[in-house]
Amino acid sequence: MRKTILASLMLLALVSSSCDNLETDLRESEFVTLSVNALTIEDEPLVSKSRVSANESEATRICLCIFDSDNKRVYKGEQLKSDENITFGIFTGIRLVKGDYKIVVVAYNDYGTDAVADITSPTIATIGQTGIREVYSTEKDISIDPDNGAAQNVQISLPLSGTKMVFNIMDKIPSDVAYISITINEGQLPASAITFNPSTGLLSSNSSFTRDVDVRGYTGQMPTVNVYAFLNEYPKKCSIKIKCEDVNKVTLYSHTYNNVEFKSGHIIRVAAYIFSQSLAPSLDFSEWIEDSEILLE
């Protein structure tokens, strides 16, 4: 499934209509107003294509920052989809003087964690918690010139930063298994935050990501566990570790699968027998699926 958020960046020169204060008029004429307007989300399944509104997207937060030619942040705007007082994805009233700038945009699904994005430079952004999902980011160079008089349209594409694994457990969960944890990039220290380069989507450190699941209500079932990870390079071959524990956190089953390749912005679907003692632990792979991308135009 390929998903796209469309937005328009309109650079409109401000023209003062009053001649009462010439000094004020000249100062105001140095500025350009930048508006960011998220219009639609484009949802393209494998066999059909449809459009939905921006509020139906997976992103729940958007952070937009603008940096000048000295990499000084001159604007920061944040939006929550839950804010009923705004139209999610539309930024207006941004005033810039003539010069060269970088627009940096990070959109993501905070998954109820209230995680806030802090974009400190065009190459460094941090989201303070790891329990987040779909992260989209990019940076775009723009040039502001009030003298050209016409509206300027800028198109920005925000690819998905990160990867997702759909882990299908192929045998039934025994009654003594209470917890299952699945780790991507086993052997590395767990990430304490998502610190990454917005222009590349790459994590700043080589870290691991773990999903812990309470499966006490799934005895006798064969569940599917989704695990999200953010890596410092793509494609990247990582180890996957699955660990099963009882109610006292005693490990009952533990398997590690090596050299599993992950790609940015993709979903990998794997399947494994975990509890069947007569079967060697191994992974079966299905094809990669390109997941999503956000466009601002």
Question: Each residue of 125-181: pLDDT tens digit?
Answer: 999 888 888 888 888 888 888 776 434 566 666 777 888 888 888 889 999 999 999
* 3-state SS assignment for residue 81: coil
Q: How do beta strands 124-127 and 194-197 pair?
A: antiparallel
Position 30 scores a pLDDT of 62
5 with 295: CB under 8 angstroms?
yes
The yes or no reply on domain 163-288 and CATH 2.60.40.2630 is: yes
The pair phi, psi for residue 259, each rounded to 5°, is: 60, 45
Question: Residue 244 — pLDDT band, cuts 50, 70, 90?
Answer: very high
User: Hey, which of 4-13, 104-113, 277-286 has the most confident mean pLDDT?
Assistant: 104-113
Predicted structure pTM score: 0.75
Of 59, 123, 119, residue with least CA distance to 295: 59
pLDDT tens for 61-77 read 989 999 999 999 999 99
Q: What ranges do the domains of the chain cover?
A: 2-161, 163-288
Q: How do beta strands 179-184 and 156-159 pair?
A: unpaired
* 3-state SS assignment for residue 74: strand
Compute CA 177 distance to the chain's CA centroid, rounded to the nearest angstrom.
33
Beta bridge partners of 139: 104
Position 75 scores a pLDDT of 92
Position 37 scores a pLDDT of 37
Position 268 scores a pLDDT of 84
- For the chain, state the CA radius of gyration: 23
C-alpha–C-alpha distance, residues 110 and 209, integer Å: 16
Beta bridge partners of 153: 10
**Token pair in block for residue 274:** 């975990």
Handedness of CA 256, 258, 264, 266 (dihedral sign): negative
Give the containing element (helix H, strand E) for 88. none
47's CB contacts (< 8 A; 6+ apart) are: none
pLDDT at residue 81 is higher than 50: yes
Position 16 scores a pLDDT of 33
117 vs 280, residue with greater confidence: 117
**Token pair in block for residue 15:** 């023209």
59's CB contacts (< 8 A; 6+ apart) are: 5, 81, 107, 108, 109, 134, 136, 294
Buried b (16+ CB within 10 A) or exposed e, 148-160: eeeebebebebbb
DSSP conformation letters of 101-132? EEEEEEEE--TTS---EEEEETTEEEES-S--
C-alpha–C-alpha distance, residues 135 and 195, integer Å: 12
54 with 89: CB under 8 angstroms?
yes
Give the containing element (helix H, strand E) for 22. helix 22-28
